[in-house]
Amino acid sequence: MGLEEDIKILLNLSTLVGNKSVEIVFVRSINRLDIGGEVIEDKVKGSSMKTTLKTAMELIEKGYATIPDEYITWVKKIIWKEKSRETRRTLPKEEDSFYPKIALIIYAIKHDRNLELDENTKLSITNQVRHIVSRRLQLIISEAFAKIDHLVSNMTPEEHLLARIINNVITEWREGVYINELL
């Protein structure tokens, strides 16, 4: 894919990620609710549902839903896995739903009145996730510049798109300043 096609995808990335599926748990029963263009019917308190990230965020903000307990367990495993590899220049393989889940967890920490986590845990998760995303971005930028192919196989689709765009921009820049043959 060329840079122009990748940029079109990048400009549409929030829609693509916002439409990815995540899970929520209802904190109150719902007979019928029209939210985000989606009609939700007959949901019992405590039941779960898969929906788009955008709809999940809206349900959480309006107090209808929260994230499943499994998401907190999942993010703690991610934090442990990423920390254990921090000294190596490797990118741990993450599932394709990595960024939608991370986004929903951080959103819930900020907006969910029903999330049962103490403030220290919320702050710790937020800071550690911020560090993980920053570290992954650093590795992606390094890969794009140095073409470290072993990192590519462990990237999420969003990260692979970013690496391709950065690589294309660097290549265009190198050619523009006539140093492409030097590197």
- Order across the sheet with 21-26: list the strands: 48-52, 21-26, 65-66
Residue whose pair of structure tokens reads 């000294």 in the numeric block: 87
Distance, CA of 146 to chain centre: 24
Distance CA(97)–CA(3), nearest Å, equals 24
Contact assessment for residue 167 and residue 144, using Cβ atoms and an 8 Å cutoff: yes
SS3 45: coil
pLDDT tens for residues 166-177?
Answer: 888 877 777 766
Which CATH number describes the domain made up of 3-17+68-176?
Answer: 1.20.58.2050
Are the C-beta atoms of 155 and 148 separated by less than 8 Å? Answer: no
- 36 secondary structure, DSSP code: T
Q: Could you state, in order of their start, the residue ranges of all structural domains in the chain?
A: 3-17+68-176
pLDDT value of residue 120:
95
pLDDT for 72-123, tens place per residue? 999 999 888 888 777 777 777 888 889 999 999 999 999 999 898 999 999 9
pTM: 0.82
